[in-house]
Amino acid sequence: MTNKRVVDLLLALSGGAIALVGYFYIENEYRWLAVCAGLVLMGVFLVFLVRDGQAGPEPPVRMADGGGGPPAGKVTEVVLLNEEDQPLASWTLYGKTGMVIGRDSGENQVNINLANSTYASTVEVEHAVLNYAAGCWYVEDLSSKNGVSVQKADKRKYKLAPGHPCRLASGDILYIGLVRLMLR
């Protein structure tokens, strides 16, 4: 329950309490004024409470990308780039909710296999994960030795701390060790 909904509930209960106190303890011409004021207060905040509850809770997401605005574009594909920014392989994100990035060693199974990339030695078996939540894709470092970085559209590069996801947008470049993946 969000803080706003808690406050709305407390104010609605306060309105109900005012109506009860007015009805049972006030014995002059102000009795019905107190009862009506309490009922109106209770009704207004119950409407706010119900209306806010229909939107659903927002998922708590800690941003590591330096901004809290919406992504520049929807991400639908991950593309492996070579030294000259030419695409070597691609993976679609359509219909997926999570993708593990790493090297398939036979004992594990990753969704984005970088075992055949030029810098595969800098990629761990399970290096990073892409997760889809609240209409956006996020990348998270899985405590890798060589780390995960994200280069945003403004050319700023962010090194991720394990356990702190970063929201992604189309055009971002992921550095998985020394391997570059472009999102589009």
Sequence-ordered strand ranges (E) for 69-171: 77-81, 87-92, 98-102, 112-113, 126-133, 136-141, 148-151, 157-159, 166-167
- pLDDT for position 11: 92
- pLDDT for position 100: 96
Position 66 pLDDT exceeds 70: no
Who wins on pLDDT, 72 or 23?
23
Q: Is the pTM of the predicted complex or chain greater than 0.85?
A: no
Position 130 pLDDT exceeds 50: yes
Position 33 pLDDT exceeds 80: yes
- pLDDT for position 1: 60
Q: Mean pLDDT across the stretch 165-172?
A: 95
What are the two backbone dihedrals, phi and then psi, of residue 27, each rounded to the nearest 5 degrees?
A: -120, 25
Indicate the angle between helix axes 31-54 and 3-25, nearest 10 degrees. 160
- pLDDT for position 78: 97
Position 147 pLDDT exceeds 60: yes
- pLDDT for position 173: 96
Which band of pLDDT confidence, cut at 50, 70 and 90, is reported for residue 67? very low
